[in-house]
Amino acid sequence: MTPMTDSFASLWASRLRQNQGIRSLMEDLGQVTGHPDEILLGGGNPAHIPEAEEIFATCFQTLANDPNLTALLGDYQAPIGNDRFRSLAAEYLSPHLGAKLTKDNIAFFNGSQNAYSYLLNIHSGKMADGSFKKILFPIVPEYIGYADQTIEADTFLANAPDVIPTGNHRFRYGFNKENFDLSNIGCVVMSRPTNPTGNIFPIEDIQWIEERTQKKSIPLLIDLAYGNPFPNLIATEEPIHYAEGRTLSLSFSKIGLPGVRLGIIISNPDTIETLSSYAAVGNLAVGNLGVYMMEILFRKNILPDLAKNVLRPFYEKKLELAISIFESEFKKSGVEYEIHDPLGGFFLWIRFPNLSISNHKLYHLCKDKRLFIVSGHYFFPGLNSDFSHTKECIRLTYCRKEEELARGAHILAKIVASHQAKSK
Ligand SMILES: Cc1ncc(COP(=O)(O)O)c(C=O)c1O
């Protein structure tokens, strides 16, 4: 393919063509060869959990046998979903999100990633009044997939978090209130649980932020891809409710349906209306499969039990296993390490102090051994100050089989040990 020359690429295209984290991560997922030595601890695929897969397969078969299949395959939805599905979602989600929702609060997208690429551009860049607004992350590291979604450059802003030691080889990032500044901010964004760290933003800190955002009518976007009401991987932390001033996003991906591509946005009617215009232009319509599957899952009220009895116990057990496997390999090889308290989601965020190589180089050395991880440097969009963690941390998924985790831990520990100066 002939490379695009500068005169044929917009500034946005030129930025996109620089190697972004999300592209590298998703391409790693797509370039898997199936080689038996491959160890896939990189991407955000959920685990294959047989009990969940059986439920989804039954749901799929019901649709395949339905005389309405012709509509599913042969008709477009409205841009953000037909009213029937939006009303159903509003009614179903109302008690789960502690609010009286109507269809005017609901928009469906082809994955929540797809929704964010619109939301972030609605709330940032050059505004109708001529001002320039940025997107503030109250805490970084934050989800790799937000970076590069805005058409305009230089739209992200973040402060380094507080680093709070929480125990032997453990720490947690805390929200640094001191440098919180809403000047020229168009929206505040957080994922809860946070991808990549597994942190769960405390409700009191959210209230503190909202006391300030609400005075300035700045929307707070809370990404619940791993949160409540499904898959609800929030351990004992409090769930998030919908309230005026908030835009919430839910995803079907982390319950086990990433291939279906369904994201649900809950927001005020004005934002939903704008999203509908965006969706018509960019997508024409949301895909049918996700909303049809949602109809079955919501009408039969399947997801609360699935989350409680299948997903949460599965991920909690996997987490315990993964921690014991990684810690035992790190100890065997004399690796210095710190793990972020894994409160929710399904990733481990690990810091290796005193590394003589960057985390990006570590990623490449692991990849040479067919071990896929994600370098942590991608997860700090908008951070302009020095923070050693940007170069010292990696993200791992623990959704894989025990023997794969064990091989991965062994390789990672060996590589890190050979590039780490001992502090003692
Ligand atoms: C925090 C977070 N938000 C959003 C997404 C996007 O998910 P999807 O587009 O599959 O709904 C992901 C995917 O990994 C994620 O981790």
CA–centroid distance, residue 127 to ligand 1 (Å): 27
Total number of domains constituting the chain: 2
Q: What is the CATH number of the domain that holds 85?
A: 3.40.640.10
Q: What is the pLDDT of residue 4?
A: 57
The answer to whether 192 touches 247, Cβ cutoff 8 Å, is no
Give the separation between CA 108 and CA 261, rounded to whole angstroms.
10
Closest ligand 1 atom to Cα of 251: 11
Tell me, yes or no, whether 113 and 246 share the same domain: yes
CATH number of the domain at 310, please: 3.90.1150.10
Asked if 260 and 342 sit in the same domain, the reply is no
- Is the sign of the CA dihedral 8, 10, 14, 16 positive or negative? negative
How would you write 311-322 as a 3-class SS string?
A: HHHHHHHHHHHH
Q: Is 57 domain-assigned? A: no
**C-alpha 195 – ligand 1 centre gap (Å):** 9
Residue 423: band (very low, low, confident or very high) from pLDDT cuts 50, 70, 90: low
Last residue of a domain, one of 302, 325, 347: 302
* Residues 82 and 199 reside in one and the same domain: yes
Which residue has a Cα nearest atom 6 of ligand 1?
Answer: 113
Any ligand 1 atom below 6 A from CB of 225: yes
- Judge if the beta carbon of residue 145 lies within 6 A of ligand 1: yes
pLDDT at 361: 97
Beta strands in 105-236 (DSSP E): 106-109, 125-126, 132-137, 156-158, 162-167, 170-174, 185-191, 220-223
Looking at 81-85, 117-121, 145-149, 214-218, which range is the least confident one?
145-149
**d(C-alpha 393, C-alpha 387), whole Å:** 11
The reported pLDDT for the residue numbered 86 is: 98
272, 302, 332 - which closes a domain: 302
Residues 139 and 260 in one domain: yes
Residues 235 and 216 in one domain: yes
Q: Is the minimum distance from the CB of 379 to ligand 1 under 6 angstroms?
A: no
Tens digit of each residue's pLDDT (9 = 90 or more) over 285-308: 999 999 999 999 999 999 999 999
pLDDT higher than 80, residue 174? yes
Token pair 């990623």 in the structure block, residue: 363
Distance 420 CA to ligand 1 centre (A): 33
Query: How far lies 79's CA from each of 35, 86, 109, 133, 241, in Å?
Result: 41, 11, 8, 27, 26
* Low-confidence winner among 35-44, 54-63, 64-73, 301-310 (lowest mean pLDDT): 35-44
**Residue 43 alpha carbon, nearest atom of ligand 1:** 14
> Are residues 320 and 270 part of one domain?
no
**pLDDT for residue 91:** 98
**Beta-carbon count within 10 A of 74 CB:** 8
pLDDT recorded at residue 5: 60
What backbone phi and psi angles, to 5 degrees, belong to 295? -60, -45
> Has residue 1 got a pLDDT over 50?
no
Q: Torsions phi, psi of 338, nearest 5?
A: -140, 135
Our answer on whether the CB atom of 251 is closer than 6 Å to any ligand 1 atom is yes
Q: To the nearest whole number, what is the mean pLDDT of the chain? A: 94
- State if residue 227 touches ligand 1 by the CB under 6 angstroms criterion: no
Q: What is the Cα–Cα distance from 80 to 276, expressed in whole angstroms? A: 6
DSSP for 392-404 reads HEEEEE--S-HHH
31 or 162, higher pLDDT: 162
pLDDT tens profile 234-246: 999 999 999 999 9
- Of 248, 277, 302, at which residue does a domain stop? 302
Q: What mean pLDDT is predicted for residues 2-26?
A: 74
Worst-scoring range by mean pLDDT, 13-22, 46-55, 79-88, 381-390? 13-22
Domain shared by 98 and 237, yes or no: yes
Domain residues for the domain of 324 are: 11-52+305-417
- Region 205-227: what's the mean pLDDT? 98
Confirm whether 292 is domain-assigned.
Answer: yes
**Claim to verify: residue 106 and residue 202 sit in the same structural domain:** yes
Q: Which atom of ligand 1 is nearest to the CA of 195?
A: 1
Q: What pLDDT digit, counting tens, does each position of 249-297 carry?
A: 999 999 999 999 999 999 999 999 999 999 999 999 999 999 999 999 9
With respect to residue 424, please indicate whether it lies within any of the assigned structural domains.
Answer: no
Spacing, Cα 240 to ligand 1 middle (Å): 17
Atom nearest to 258 CA in ligand 1: 10
Decide: 111 in ligand 1 pocket, CB within 6 A. yes
Closest atom of ligand 1 relative to the 116 alpha carbon = 4
Same domain, 291 and 382: no
Residues whose CB is less than 8 angstroms from the CB of residue 44 and which lie 6 or more positions away in sequence, other chains included: 25, 195, 253, 254, 258, 347, 397
**Ligand 1 close to Cβ of residue 112 (< 6 A):** yes
Verify whether ligand 1 is closer than 6 Å to residue 117 (CB atom).
Answer: no
Cα three-residue angle 359-363-368, rounded to 5 degrees: 145
Residue 59 within a domain: no
Task: Report yes or no on 63 lying in a domain.
Answer: no
Collapsing DSSP to helix, strand or coil, 220 comes out as: strand
Q: Please check whether residue 61 lies inside any domain of the structure.
A: no
**Region 385-410: what's the mean pLDDT?**
96
d(C-alpha 246, C-alpha 195), whole Å: 19
Mutate to test the pocket of ligand 1, among 26, 28, 252, 253 (most ligand atoms within 8 A of CB): 253
Name the token pair of 156: 């992200």
Expressed in angstroms and rounded, the spacing between residue 251 Cα and the centre of ligand 1 is: 7
Residue 3 domain flag = no
In the chain the first and final C-alpha atoms are separated, in Å, by 53
> 190 alpha carbon to ligand 1 midpoint, in Å?
12
pLDDT tens for 78-107 read: 999 999 999 999 999 999 999 999 999 999
Q: Please list the residues that pair with 349 across neighbouring strands.
A: 395
pLDDT: is 327 or 45 the higher one?
A: 327
Q: Is residue 290 part of a domain?
A: yes
Q: Is the pLDDT of residue 118 over 70?
A: yes
